[in-house]
Structures are given as structure tokens and as C-alpha cells.
A and B are shown apart, each in its own frame.
Chain A
Amino acid sequence: MSSNKKYWKNAEELNPTHSSAVETLKQKEFTQEIPVDEFLGDKETLDASSTTRRDFLKYVGFSTAAASLAACEGPVIKSIPYVVQPEQIIPGVANYYATAIANGYDFASVLIKTREGRPIKVESNSLAKANGGINARVQASVLDLYDNQRVAGPQKEGQAISWGELTAEVSQKLEALKETDKSVVLLTQTFASPSTSKLISDLKQNYSNVSHVVYDAISESAAADAYQNKYGQRGLANYDFSKAQTIVSIGADFLGDWQGGGFDAAYAQGRVPKNGKMSRHIQFEANMSLSGANADKRVALKPSQQKIALAKLYGKIVGTAVGGELPAHLETAVNSAASELLKAGANAVVLTGIQDVNAQSIVLAINEKLGSKAFDPKTTIKTRQGNDKAVAQLVADMTAGKVGALLMAGVNPAYTLPNASAFVEGLKQTDLSVTFTMKNDETAAVSQYVAATSHYLESWGDLETKTGHYGLMQPTIRPLFDTKQFQEVLLELVGESGTYHDYIKSYWKNTILKGASWNDSLHDGVYTSSNSATVETTATFDGSSILGLGAAATTLAATSTSEIELTLYPKTGMGDGQQANNPWLQEFPDPLTRTTWDNYLTVSEFDAKALGFFLETSTFFSENSHDADGGLNGKYANVTVNGVTVKVPVIIQPGQARGTVGMSFGYGRTQGLKAEMQTGVNAYPLYTDFNPVQTATVEVTDGKHEFACVQLHNTLMGRGDIIKETTLEIFNTESAADWNPMTMVSLNHEETPVNSPDVDLWDEFDRSIGHHFNLSIDLNSCTGCGACVIACHAENNVPVVGKEEIRRSRDMHWLRIDRYYSSDDTFEDDNTTKDNIQGLGSSLSTFGEMEVPSENPQVAFQPIMCQHCNHAPCETVCPVAASSHGRQGQNHMAYNRCVGTRYCANNCPYKVRRFNWFLYNENDEFDYHMNNDLGRMVVNPDVTVRSRGVMEKCSMCIQMTQKTILDAKRDGREVNPDEFKTACSSACDSGAIAFGDINNKKSAITELKDDERAYHLLDHVGTKPNVVYQVKVRNTNEA
């Protein structure tokens, strides 16, 4: 099955006549020649030089001697032990604390690894399966703690003041405002914290004029309204995708950040074929999202068409006729989705990401009608409490001068509000404005007082992510700066003595724990209970404006489409933009576009050609600049929405629905972050009425944008069968030899399987004794979320190199997730189809639209790290034996031995070796976290920080496997099955990455290695890797 399928990373590869640049890239590990001319110069300059050859040798000799003499004196190293050593800290031994992140966008119970009192890594808390997912942003959040741009203490009008002064002045002003008719407003993030809700209601009792407005930068307000209307409580319905066999999503990126995210682990469970069954996922969407990339069937359509499709789907399911016009192929797709849903019945679930109360109400109704097992409305998700109307009202009140004081916490409205300028004007009219923030961000710049808040790793807190699922937050380090958390200040304003810790503890004991142990809950970081804590009473909800279901469907069906529809979305790495100063996240390649350090306008190839954004092949890789190294270029577009115009670079996104464009939030920050991090364009000004779907006009403008996109880096030299995939039908009916055949090679002109010992050039080394590590990667359950990439970054001190270097193909990620597009056609077929379409001109048939591969490709994600080949090509070419093999199956890299010839990288068929072109630490040219004392606190002390001129690569987390072995030795026991972990395998919520010892027959990896889906990457090369992939199975069965 795999043999007739072609995969491509870039549309450029589909064009066989003009892809010389791609071909060159495939053949070269290092795309740039070393610029010898620069320092040798030409002959004339050499002749003109006064330095003779003898002089040159003298200089060389002298400098060598001087350098070696200077090296003789060793430095004096001081060691300062504790004066009084804390009982629980042993230098060199990591401590783990269960805590939780709740930054208003990401909510999750986590485990924090600390060394010598420094938090250095975020791990998942295995006790907290229901409390949110540990995505890439959560993994990277530990670096935010050590951000040297953090506000070091409270400020008034930019001048440092003391906390005493701040609270005194604030409470004095609040007291004064009591007498007036002006209101005091708390504008906060969603805390989802029972104790904070209690604290705010305490404050309301003290100050009668206080009101609380919850604001989510990226709103789920429509869904919350629909839920509140139906179930009487503000929140969102919970879904358990492990119970769903048929998933139909209309514009909901539920593997991304839809409704708070964290659904991917349960989804992945259903994606692994078990007993011949796996879930079927149909995605209707405009932008290519993670969910669309993982879907079995993806239908690209405009957002307005999504509304009509949803209305029609509703009609089919409840059996009423709903009007509305859809193109024929969409009509068919909706019909077949409806029949699949009806067939699956209670095993089906429908989702939507359309920010429209009608759409959300209809989805709740459909799931109720289906009796969906995956749909769990009784468990309320509480992590998106924001209310758009209240926020809009607040800005209006501020402009009208009705607001006396505004206290903001965890929000950055001056950046995230679509009408930020109105907000800033309104803020000037308030008597008091205080912002609780970690950065001198856009809002802090216009506030009177900046209250420096603590990072979540320095704070106490609690949260209830879903009804009955509680989490506790505890500090893992003393505050690094003179900071206080929002709640501490509230306590002072309320007049409560004691710390916030005491407050939570007593609140929990009285309200939540009801006799259960506080210490146990704090130790576990989570607590599950059947009862929900009382939530702060929100303003009475007015549901009168919400239509009945019938009317809602009619309204949806009557949606008019416009020519270009813009869909705004949060990018996997950046979310709502509050972590924009985090270099790990900036350098995190987007799972789909594989672009770093940027946001952009995603446009379909068809529209790009029509609108003039398409760069022809000849200029796409222009010959004169360094673009031949794979650096991607794009034109600029002016995007205008409701009179607001932004200039944004354009990227061509295969799978983008025609007539739609996409743009991500979270970029274009200007305040409170380093110049290097001020990347991209702010999309919030286009977010009118908190609606991510906008009618836009797009036109080409001048200028060429240089992207730092890694999609053409490290291609596997055009060798086939990198991805193997099959369909569920074939998987169930045919033998593994058909859909996962062993590669045959020629031996004495006879076809011989590649795993036969006869074809092996090498003597096999006996690895049956001791440990032998293998890593298994399931292409079915990998959603491409990238949490493993950041986990690897944190664990292994992988340096950040910056946009320029990424563009030069010098990224340092040890673990990359390759994204492949494919269609059922071959390259040649694709081309003829494409030619035909161009011949037909504008009168495109919908049939043709589905057939062009880049119009709607299938997507596969493939995490690639060092394959730890048993017969490693890199080892044989190293002149200094810096790369060698261990008995445990790991390919070792001795940095101190490496002289930087880079032969190994050239000889690696998987392109996983990374070269340190520069010194990335303590180097002002690379002013990221490793260039300041604070940022270096995140460095893992068990892993060497590499220097310039050294090759590095994935070590299969040998520091972790060695530690596991040592722990077992010290305890005098065998290593438990599945005790071995790597950073990526423990970061993988969906269980796609599994690690273990294949010599331990009890470990799960032993089965995975011999699974009929298992295959090795490029096994015809004969490298015998220790990383095994599982064939991707797509459920293409139309029910």
C-alpha cells in the first residue's frame, strides 16, 4: 500500500521539472559551502599583502605557544555550601513537587522537577489525567520563571515603590471611590480557582461598588453562553474522546486549544486500531489545523459554509429539512457525515468551533439527541469563563468615565483587545489603574501601578478545571524578585490577616476536602470529589436573546458567504501570546507550516495564484541570495477587516479552503520582551467582536518576507517509504506482509529480506544481556502536538539559535516532527490533474478541487530523532571515534572528543545530527536564556552544555536511563518493567512515544517492537535502528 503513495513536505516538491533547488537540498547535509574566499581572498590581495608565508608561520607558532601557556594556569573554583541545609534538599538529587499551571490560557496539573531548589522541568502528573494536557507551552513555562525581562518589583508610573506603599495607596483610593458612584472593576483572566472566587466575593462585600469581569484573550464566550443557557452554569461541556467511535468536527480544532484543549490523550486512545476497530474522524474546516491533519476525512470549506453545513447536519439528525445553499460536494460530505453519525448513534460525537451561540446550542442538542457517550455535559469545564459582552460593556463604561478603578490580573487588554486603543483611552479616565503582571507589557505601560506578580512556580493556588476535578498549586521556589501574587494583595484589601496559603487551606478544609487529608492532596497535586465547590455568583444570565433550536438552524442556514473569509486561530507554540518572550516557544516549529519565529497569513495555492502571492519556482528559490539553502520567502499582504489593515507575510498552506485565509494570534508583541522576540504581526486588532471569523479583503503589497521555516531542512534524500500507511480495511483483511512488507534487497541477484543475516556487512553484536533500549513511535496516535520537542529542549539543554540561523538550516532540535503531505495519486498523476485544472481555468469542477493534492492533502506526522542504529553509519566515519556504540543500544556522542569534521552528519541517512556552528551560551550574539545568569538556571546539570564546533544529537536521554539503572542498583533490585523513560516518552500524553528495555520481556516495548505494524525507517540501508515506527492506519471506511 505504501509503495504507490508519494509524500511531500512542500508544494515545491510536487513539481518535477523545476525542483532543482529541492534536489540540491536533498543531496546536501550542509547547504552552504564554507566561505573560504572570505578569509583567503583573491590572488591579487594575497600578493599585495605584506605578510609573507614565513611571517604567517611565525604568527601561528607564537599564538599556539601563547595559547598553550595561557592554558596552563587552572582557574580557582569556589564552592559555597549551605549554611543550614534544608532537610529535603540533597545536592545532586532531584526533588519533585506536584503543582498546577493556571495562567488563564493553559490549565494543567503538573509535576515539577527541581534541582538544588531550582525548578528545571515540567513533567506530567500521572495522578492527574483529567486535569488538562501538558502541551508544548506548559512544557516551556518553566523558562518563563527565569525570564530576565520580568518586573522585579512594584512600580508606580514607572518608578519602583514598595509593596506597603502600593497597597496603602490602592486601598486609600478604593476607599475614596466608595463614596462616589463610580464603579471598581476587577478585570481578570479565568482563574478557575474556588478560593480566588471566594476571595473576590469577600472583596465585593467589603466594597459594594466592585464588579468582576472575566476576560479570555481568545474567547469561548459563545460556547459558554450556549452552555449556560442550557445547563444554567457558566462553563463548557466536557468530552471524552476515548468513548467516541465517530467524531465529526465542524471547525473545532479540539487537538489544539479548542475549549481549553487537553483532549488529545483521550482522542489518541481511540486512534490505535484494537481488535480491528479504531475511531473515525471527519473534520470540516477552513484552516489546516492539527485536528484536520489527524482526521481520516477532511473537508475544506469556508467558515460561512461551516455554519450551513452544521445546520444541515442538524436537520439530517433530527429529521427536519433545513434550507441553505452548499456546493454539491459539500452537500454530499454533510450527508455522509450525518449518516455515519446516525449509524454510530451513542458512539458518535459532534463538535464545533464556530463562535456563534446558535451553532454551539445546536451542537449541544445534536449530542444530546445522539445520546453521545463521549459527551459529558454534567462535568463542566471551568477554564474558559470569559464573557465578551461584559468586556465590551466595560470598555464602553470606561470610555464614558463610569469606571473609577480598574484592577487587572493575568490579562493584557492593551495588546489583546480588538479595540485596544479605546481601552487605553478609557484607562486614562479611571482614577486608579493597577495591573498585576510579570512583564512590563503593553497594559503595564499605560497603567498607573504595576504590581509585579509571581510566576505560578512561586505561587500558591488552587483550581477546579472541571467539576469535581481539583488541583493545588504550591511554590517550588521562593520568589526570585520582590513579587506578590494577586490573591495576596486581595487578602490585604479585604483586611484578612494571614497568608494566601492559610486562606486556601482553611477554604479547602471547610468546603472541598470535607475530612480528606490536605497534606495528601497537596502531595498529589490533585483531588477528585463528586461535589463541586460553590462558584462566585456571576451576574444573572440573560438567555432571552438566544434563539430556539429551529430558529437557530434557520439562522445558520441563511449565513451568507463572502469572497475572502479570515479565520483567526491560536498557534500551537504561542497560544494567546503571553509567553511570547519564551525563546523555546519562538523557535518551536509550527506542526503544520514548520515555520518558526513568525506568524503569517495562510493562503491556498489557488488563491495565492489568483491574488498574486504565488512566487514562481524560478524566483521561489532565487539564485542570488542564500535562499538556495531552503530558506522560504513570501510576499506581503495587506489584510483589511472593518477598516483595520495589517501587513502580514503570506505562506501557502496546502489544504487551506479556497476563499479563506488564516492568521494566528499571539505575535506582534512590542512591550516587555526582547527585541529578538518581537516577531510577527498582531492579529488581535482584526478580532472584531471577539469573532475569529471575519470578512476580509486581501491584497498584495510590496516587499519580500524571509521565513525561518524548517520544512525543507533535513529531508531524507528522497529515499522512499519513510512513512508507511494503510487503511483500516486493508489492515483488517490482509496480512502484514502486504501492507507492511519487509524491504527486499539484492543478494547474488536474488531478492533477500533486508533483515536476513546474509545481507549484513557487519558482525552482529550480542545485545541479549543487560539492557537494550528501543523507542517506539506510533504514527497513529501521534497528533503532532510538539510537547516532546520542548521537553527534549528542556531536558537536554538544547540551545536556541534564533531566526537567522534557523533560516540557514542550523536549527538544533534533537527531536523534530516531520510533517508529510500526501494524496493517493502519484506525482505524475498530480501533475496531469493540475494541468487539466489550469486548462479549465476558472470554471473549476468541484471534483477537480478534491483531486489536486495540495488542495486537500492527507497529513502524517513523524517525530524523528537519532535512530540509534545498531550499525550506525555515523560511527564508521568519525576520524576521532567521538561517536561510538554502547551495548545498551544507544549511540553515544562524546562531545569532548569531537573535533567537528561533520562527516557523521553527512553520513547520517536520517539527518538527525546537529552541529554547533557557534557558541550558543554566554554569547551576546545569541541573547536568549543561556546568555544570562537567570536564564541559565533552567539548565539541566546532568547534561553537558555543548560548545562551539561540536556535533550533537539525541542521546536517547542516557542521563535518564543511567539514573534509572543506578536507582535500581542502589536499591538492590531489578529495574521494573516500563520504569525506563526518556524526556519525549514521558512528555507524550497520547502515548505515541513508548520507551523501554526489549531484553525485559515484561515491558510494553517488547510487544511494540514485534508488532505487525512495526517498521524501521529506511531499513533497506541496513542500519538496524533502535527506533521503531508503527504503520499509520487510516479509517477510510465510509459507514
Chain B
Amino acid sequence: MSSINTMKQKFNFYILSKTLLSGLLFFSIICTSLFAQEGDPVKGKSLFNANCAACHQLDKKMTGPALRYVETRLSEEEGLDREWLNAWIRNSSALIKSGDAYANKIYAEYNGSAMTAFPQLSDEDLTNILAYTAQDKAVPVAAVAAAAPGAQAEGGVSQEIVLGALAILFGLLALGLFLVNKTLRRFAAANNVEIAEAVKRKSLWKAFVNNQFLMLVVAIFFLLSSAYFMYGYLMQVGVDQGYQPIQPIHYSHKIHAGDNGIDCKYCHSSARVSKHSGIPALNVCMNCHKSIYEVAPSTATEEYSKAFYDGEIQKLYDAVGWDDAEQKYTGKTKPVKWVRIHNLPDFAYFNHSQHVSVAGLECQTCHGPVEEMEIMYQFSPLTMGWCINCHRETNVKVQDNDYYDKIHEALTKKYGVEQLTAAQMGGLECGKCHY
């Protein structure tokens, strides 16, 4: 009982402190919003995301400083007013040139990276933006967040209990039947009831062995089916369809190509001009991940938490040598050793640009629904038969390509077809891929 009492006491204290805290927060919100001269934080957010978010975050130093409470901070610490701030935003370099002390200080602090001038922002826009920066950090709703995993755990427990109960039930049932049987037999013995013995018949397997025709059929069937499975087994040797290795960094094609709709060739740019599609260099990742240092909470799934994804981004930073706090490269790099998924043997020549640029194929034709793959895997068998089949079925894309003009006309006439397949263009010749 005593423990319940203490709990109650604690609970009371909790309520008390929370009320106090929220009161305090409320007070401060009122103060700051008064200070912000009634801007519209909603409009401000969209303006902030459109103009400022590339270099600024509210709570984190990026290319530029963190901007939450910037106006308050400036007026309190530096004694700078809204006028100064407006001047800085609209044309910071002019302010620096004018010799303004704080402008020069901040310019030096961020290694002389000049802020883009935004002369197009009206006073109202700036007011809105500053209103947005003056908002308090949304307090995560702790209770809800805490409850969710609990519920999940409960679900797991109940399932186990149900299963356990069922098992016990079945056990009891079996025991009951056994006991009933035993009791009945005892009754029978007591009442001298004879239980008829089962008639001994020729066993099935002996009958089977004696039937030579059946034996022959079964033997043939057995041989054929084992040959079939043997063939199937041998044919898949070296075919790695579905190969899904664990990569050093959990890179999700689903998030990048699927949810965010990034074009495949943004990262695999060499597919356009080279035989290799190219694993993107880490500086390509950093084009975006310089400012995307964490995933949105909505990205997290049941399987992979936000913390997990953020950790993977951190792995990228370690590899490329990016100090996120200082916002600069340390120069210490650890190249990533990806596990190669699509492995063509050395004697087969494949050129991505031939298929991507010339034939205009979608990457998905061979690589499957990459935009749905959380973990990348080999979609196609990449066997010669698979290549050949596609060459037989696919028409050559001749539109707007002067190379094909004459040859296509002549060949269509020769073969008497409207459209030439890759095979008819010579796409089945050994030497086109093997040299």
C-alpha cells in the first residue's frame, strides 16, 4: 500500500510541476509573440522553407546560424533592432561593406560565406518569417510517444498467451482422450467385453513391391523428377536473382527514389554516358545531405526507427568526413565498401548508356521496382537467356536518331517488318557482348 501512496504523491507533484511549466511556457509565448509584432507564423514557415531552409535551421547551426529567437537574441545580446535585421537579410554584403561591426563578425565566423541577398522580401514577409522563428520548439507529446511502444508490447504478449493457452488446452484434450480410452478399456475388461483384433492384411508396401508395373512407373517418375530438380538446381548455380546483401550503410532506395521521387540518373549519372551505371560518389550524397541531417519523423517505420535512419546518415558523414556540428569537412574519409549486387561475368560486356540513352529503357525494366525496395536486391536473373529474350522482343528505338535512318529503312524492307527488334539489328551476335 505504501508504494501506491508514494506513487500518488509523485503523481500530484507531476501534475503540479506540469501546470507550472505550461504556465511559464504560455507566459513566454505571449511575451515573444508580443515582441514579434503579430506576424503570421504559418505564412512565415512556408516563406522560411522556400527561402531560408537551404542554409538555416531553427535549432541547428548549418551553413548559417540557428535562427530560433533570432530577433530576441540580437536585441538582447547585441542591441540590434529589426531595422538592422531587415538590412542584413535584404543585402548582407552591403552591410558588411558599410563596416558594421556585428555584420563583419558574423561574416568572419562563418568563413566568409556570404548570405544570399533577398531584396524581394517585403516587410510583412520578414515579419512573418521572424514570427515563425520566434515560435517555441514544439514539445513532443511524451505521453503518446511513451504509450505507443507499450501497446505494441501488449499485443505481443497477448498473442503469446493465446498460443500458450491453446497449447495447454490441446494438451488437456489429449490427456482427457487418453484417460477416457483407458477408463473404457478398464470397463471392458471388468465387463468381459472382447475387443476384436484387427484382421491382419497383406501390408501395402509389400503389395506395392510385388506390383512390377507400379514399381517401374514409380521408378521412372522418381528418376524424371530428380532429373528435373537436379537440372533446376544446376541452372540456378551462379544466378543470383534475389541477392540482397547487407550493405555497410542502410541506403533505402524506397525513401530516395520512391518517397522523394529522385530520378535514378541524378545519382547514377554515368549510366547516361558510360558502360557503368556508377555507384555515386559520396559527394553526390552530400549535395542533399549537407542540409538533410535527419529524417522526418514520418519516415520512420515499424521496422526502422527514426534513430536508426539518422544513424545511417551519420555513417555517411563519417565516411565522407563531414563534421555536422562545425559544418565543414574534416578531410578524414573512410570510403564505403559497398557489396556489389549486380555482377556480370568479365566475359560479358554490358553498356548502360546503350540501353539507357540510346534505347531509352527505364531502369526498372531490368532492375525492377527499385523505388519500392527498402533494401536493394537483384531483380532479374541476369542470365544470357534473359538478355537474349529481351533483345528478341524489344524494338529498336529509332526515332530522332540519325544513326538509324538509313539502316532501319533498308533492314525493315529486307525483313518485311514495320519495326526492327534488337535481334534483327544484330543484337544476338556473340561478338556484340563477348570480346
Contacts and interface: CB of A to CB of B under 8 A. Distances in A.
Contact of B274 (A77, A93, A972): A93
Contacts of B434: 892-897, 944
Interface stretch (B22-30, B35-43, B55-63, B350-358): B350-358
Contact of A944 (B240, B319, B347): B347
A81 B336 contact: yes
Contacts of A81: 278-282, 335-336, 338
B164 interface: no
Interface stretch (B175-183, B387-395, B423-431): B423-431
Contacts of B335: 80-83
A892 B243 CA distance: 32
B426 A80 contact: no
A153 to B, nearest CB: 24
B385 to A, nearest CB: 14
Contacts of B273: 90, 93, 970
A77 B429 contact: no
A944 B435 contact: yes
Interface string B336-365: 111110010111110111100110000000
A66 interface: no
Contact of A895 (B336, B337, B347, B425): B347
Contacts of B354: 966, 969
B429 A892 contact: yes
Contact of B320 (A76, A78, A83): A83
A958 interface: yes
Nearest to A942: B349
A767 to B, nearest CB: 11
A84 interface: yes
B123 interface: no
B274 A91 contact: yes
Given A887-B426, A944-B347, A959 B435 contact: yes
B435 A955 contact: yes
Interface stretch (B80-88, B150-158, B200-208, B406-414): B406-414
Interface in A862-921: 882, 884, 886-888, 890, 892-897
Contacts of A79: 279, 337-340
| Chain B interface main SS type | loop
A766 interface: yes
Contacts of A68: 234, 237
A72 interface: yes
A647 B402 CA distance: 66
Contacts of B336: 80-81
Contacts of B278: 81, 90-92
A176 interface: no
A420 interface: no
Contacts of A72: 237
A897 B274 contact: no
A74 B382 CA distance: 14
Interface residues of B, number: 59
A982 to B, nearest CB: 13
Contacts, number: 158
B369 to A, nearest CB: 22
B432 A962 contact: yes
A539 interface: no
Contact of A896 (B243, B275, B345, B401): B345
B431 A80 contact: no
Given A92-B270, A93-B274, A84 B281 contact: yes
Contacts of B346: 944-945
Nearest to A972: B401
A232 interface: no
Contacts of B234: 68
B164 to A, nearest CB: 40
A882 B414 CA distance: 27
Interface string A925-966: 000000000000000001111000000000100110010011
B277 to A, nearest CB: 9
B270 A90 contact: yes
B221 to A, nearest CB: 24
A189 B429 CA distance: 52
A580 B2 CA distance: 95
A85 B407 contact: no
Nearest to A891: B431
Nearest to A77: B340
15 contacts: A71-B238, A74-B243, A81-B278, A82-B335, A83-B319, A85-B284, A769-B407, A769-B410, A769-B414, A886-B431, A890-B431, A895-B434, A959-B435, A969-B358, A970-B358
7 A-B pairs closest in CB distance = A892-B431, A92-B274, A85-B281, A92-B276, A82-B281, A81-B279, A92-B275
Interface of A: 68, 71-72, 74, 76-85, 90-93, 766, 768-770, 882, 884, 886-888, 890, 892-897, 942-945, 955, 958-959, 962, 965-966, 968-975
Given A84-B283, A972-B402, 17 more contacts: A74-B243, A76-B245, A77-B340, A83-B335, A84-B320, A85-B284, A91-B274, A769-B410, A770-B426, A884-B430, A893-B431, A895-B347, A896-B434, A944-B435, A959-B349, A970-B273, A974-B403
